[in-house]
């Protein structure tokens, strides 16, 4: 089997331990021995090069998914396919302890040092501060963290999180196309590498029947749905808006992404939080018009909130259409989003 792109992808995560340690030392002003300074500086250089060389929106790349798909097609039996997927899951077992922030866990002090319990295992400062960084980024704990004001090690952790999350979302969908339940394989092999993101699968066009959820026959899925609901309830308390037509957001992102510089996860989160600052906007007039368009599937309160946070006037946003009649991005958006009835 071919594993060239898979090995390259795994290599992206090699500095997670170093990044978490550096974040911990910085947060707690930990004294670093001179003998360790050179190692930390080299790690920082490696992390900076990794962040600089990779576009977060390109992870995972299509070559990697094509490689996995071809390997699945080469498998003679369903058992061979499952064995191949188990090997992939096991390779991510240690990586997921840093990045799977949805797992049940407990922070505590062990001999006056921060520790993290995941299942029956205990992890140290690097894991603790990797999880804290991602929970701040996902607006689950304060002080909140945005990608554009994060330190280099924090940006690296966030990049790895998006790469890992996107990879398993795509791999999960690919397995469904082969009528393989990746969650069931994970459970069968007592692994806890990723949590299924139901909203993303729905957004990609998969139905409950395709995912394999039928009434109350599968407790694993029930637990996932309950967990998703808890997360939704929790996020709603953090001033997140519910995207009423989630299936359109991926389409909107694909046709408008040249107007800003971010990956899909940041785009969706920016809509949920009514804050477009993280988008790294390149074409403001298009994004302003898009904001007005999105108000048609969100609501006027969301529209007002975005304009307030971005210091934009509503009339300017809704008036951009006249200036953009010949713009190709706007024409594509026209086919996806209807203009709000009242302008």
Q: How confident is the model at residue 266 (pLDDT cuts 50, 70, 90)?
A: confident
Residues 321/289, Cβ–Cβ less than 8 Å: yes
- Of the pLDDT bands very low, low, confident and very high (cuts 50, 70, 90), residue 229 is very low
The angle subtended at Cα 164 by Cα 240 and Cα 175, nearest 5°, is: 100
28 and 158 inside one domain: yes
| Domain closes at, from 195, 217, 236 | 195
* pLDDT for the residue numbered 140: 82
User: Phi first, then psi: what are they for 304, rounded to 5°?
Assistant: -65, -40
Residue 219 placed within a domain:
no
- From the number of C-beta atoms within 10 Å of its C-beta (0-12, 13-18, 19+), residue 194 rates as buried
Q: In this structure, are 160 and 269 located in the same domain?
A: no
What pLDDT sits at residue 125? 93
Residue 342: inside a domain, yes or no?
no
Residues 263 and 176 in one domain: no
| Dist CA 20 CA 18 (whole Å) | 6
Inside any domain, residue 233: no
Residues 255, 186 share a domain: no
Q: What is the DSSP letter of 323?
A: G
Is 220 contained in some domain? no
Mean pLDDT, the chain, rounded, equals 82
Domain that holds residue 146: 4-195
CA atoms of 64 and 164, how far apart (whole Å): 13
**Pairing of the two strands 113-118 and 105-110:** antiparallel
Both 268 and 180 in one domain: the answer is no
Per the domain annotation, does 237 fall within a domain?
no
The token duo for 257 is: 């992404």
* Total-model pTM: 0.66
Q: Considering the chain, what percentage of its residues have pLDDT values greater than 70?
A: 81
Asked if residue 214 belongs to a domain, the reply is: no
CB 136 within 8 A of CB 147: no
Q: Does the residue 258 lie in any domain?
A: yes
Same domain, 180 and 271: no
| Co-location of 171 and 284 in the same domain | no
pLDDT score, position 246: 66
pLDDT at 304: 92
Report the C-alpha gap between 120 and 180 in whole angstroms: 29
Distances (CA, A) of 322 to 142, 179, 286, 317, 319: 41, 48, 11, 11, 6
**Residue 35 within any structural domain of the chain:** yes
How far apart are alpha carbons 125 and 20 in whole angstroms? 7
How do residues 80-133 score in pLDDT, each as one tens digit?
999 999 999 999 999 999 999 988 899 999 988 899 999 889 999 999 999 999
Do 172 and 42 share a structural domain? yes
Kindly state whether residues 53 and 167 are assigned to the same domain: yes
Quick one: pLDDT band at residue 59, thresholds 50, 70, 90? low
The DSSP line for 215-267 is TTS-HHHHHHHHHHHHHHHHHHTTTPPP-TTHHHHHHHHHHHGGGB---HHHH
The whole-number pLDDT of residue 70 equals: 95
- If one counts the domains in the chain, the total is 2
Residue where a domain stops, chosen among 162, 195, 228: 195
């Amino acid at each position: 089997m071919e594993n060239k792109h898979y090995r390259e992808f795994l290599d992206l995560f090699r500095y997670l331990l170093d990044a978490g340690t550096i974040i911990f030392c910085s947060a707690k002003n930990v004294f670093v021995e001179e003998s360790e300074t050179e190692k930390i500086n080299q790690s920082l250089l490696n992390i900076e090069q990794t962040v600089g060389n990779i576009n977060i929106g390109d992870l995972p790349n299509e070559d990697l998914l094509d490689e996995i798909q071809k390997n699945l097609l080469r498998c003679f039996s369903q058992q061979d396919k499952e064995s191949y997927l188990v090997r992939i899951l096991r390779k991510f077992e240690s990586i997921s302890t840093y990045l799977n922030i949805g797992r049940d866990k407990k922070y505590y002090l062990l001999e006056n040092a921060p520790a993290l319990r995941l299942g029956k295992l205990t992890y140290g400062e690097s894991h603790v501060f990797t999880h804290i960084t991602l929970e701040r980024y996902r607006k689950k704990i304060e002080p909140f963290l945005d990608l554009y004001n994060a330190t280099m090690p924090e940006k690296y952790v966030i990049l790895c999180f998006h790469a890992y999350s996107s990879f398993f979302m795509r791999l999960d969908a690919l397995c469904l196309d082969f009528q393989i339940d990746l969650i069931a394989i994970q459970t069968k092999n007592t692994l806890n590498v990723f949590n299924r993101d139901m909203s993303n699968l729905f957004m990609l066009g998969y139905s409950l029947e395709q995912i394999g959820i039928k009434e109350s026959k599968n407790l694993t899925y029930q637990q996932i749905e309950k967990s998703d609901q808890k997360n939704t309830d929790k996020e709603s308390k953090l001033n997140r808006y519910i995207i009423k037509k989630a299936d359109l957001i991926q389409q909107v992102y694909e046709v408008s992404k040249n107007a800003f510089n971010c990956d899909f996860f940041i785009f969706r989160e920016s809509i949920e939080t009514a804050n477009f600052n993280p988008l790294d906007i390149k074409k403001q007039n298009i994004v302003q018009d898009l904001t007005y368009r999105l108000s048609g599937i969100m609501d006027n309160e969301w529209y007002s909130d975005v304009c307030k946070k971005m210091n934009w006037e509503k009339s300017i946003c809704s008036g951009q259409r006249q200036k953009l009649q010949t713009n190709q991005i706007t024409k594509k958006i026209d086919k996806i989003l209807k203009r709000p009835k009242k302008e």
